[in-house]
Amino acid sequence: MPVPASPSPDLAAFVAHVAAEGRALYRDLPWRRTRDPYAVLLSEVMLQQTQVSRVLPRYEEWLADFPTLDALAAAPLEAVLRAWQGLGYNRRAIALKRTAEEVAATHGATLPADDAALRALPGIGPATAAGVLAFAFEQPSVYLETNVRTVFLHELFADLDAVPDREIVPLVKEAVAEAARQGISSRDWYYALLDYGAHLKRTVPNPSRRSAHHARQSTFEGSHRQRRARLLRAVIARPGRTTDDYALDLTDIERETGRAPASEGEVLGVLESLAHEGFLVQSDGIWFVA
């Protein structure tokens, strides 16, 4: 059944209220002290499905290792994946490196200030592109991520469930325009939404559960994803070994945690899938980082 449209909100009052909440709840985060498009992109990618507290130390460590897109493009993939360990979803690191390589080759090592051009780069979707446009270039993009969605659901869809993004996106677009009319830059407006949304998640039953797109993340402990992550870490730590060697490594880890060990066939399947996705390569039965 389609969700009924919410009543037309008083956007001027909504924007003024959220802006005031944002000022009171403002978080001074390192990626907010720069307009470097690469540094902004890095923060957007790192923060996908990863808590701010985990990203904070890793963000500055990464920029120390790879201070520019050119530096990231030139770095070995093994070094990039090693630097990413602990942030989850390693494919994001590969996509970030591929983006750096493409931008270095075709855009003069500068991220484009254009939505379509950004979204054509590896791993950059609508929200990431909108974040770069808003925070690096101060363009009034339509930036919809989990904390932003939380605010709109809490304030404008309080009595509705299963709200689809198609109901929210037009309001996001109208609100950023209204913020500009009130003298609030897109950058500051979205910071206010992010900080107020993070506050709401800590203090009220999570409104994002009323989104039609809400999905509970599967348990990581003991999962296939965890085995993938452990095997990739094993190859990064000790490349140039056989499937049997990595199966033994994983067996030792899983015995220590009280779980049944993976079979050699399962380990081979995971290693082959990692190779298919561009993480690893195999030569004469020996595994290396791609």
Q: Which of 44, 145, 167, 178 is catalytic?
A: 44
Does residue 243 contact residue 228 with C-beta atoms inside 8 Å?
no
Does residue 86 contact residue 233 with C-beta atoms inside 8 Å?
no
Indicate the helix (H) or strand (E) that contains 254: helix 243-256
> Which amino acid does the sequence have at 256?
E
Backbone angles phi, psi at 168, to 5 degrees: -90, -40
User: For residue 75, what is the DSSP state?
Assistant: S
Q: Which residues contact 33 (CB under 8 A, 6 or more apart)?
A: none
- Sign of the dihedral defined by the CA atoms of residues 217, 220, 222, 228, in that order: positive
**Residue 44 is among the residues annotated as catalytic for this protein:** yes
Angle at 161 between CA 52 and CA 218, to 5 degrees: 45
The catalytic residues are: 44
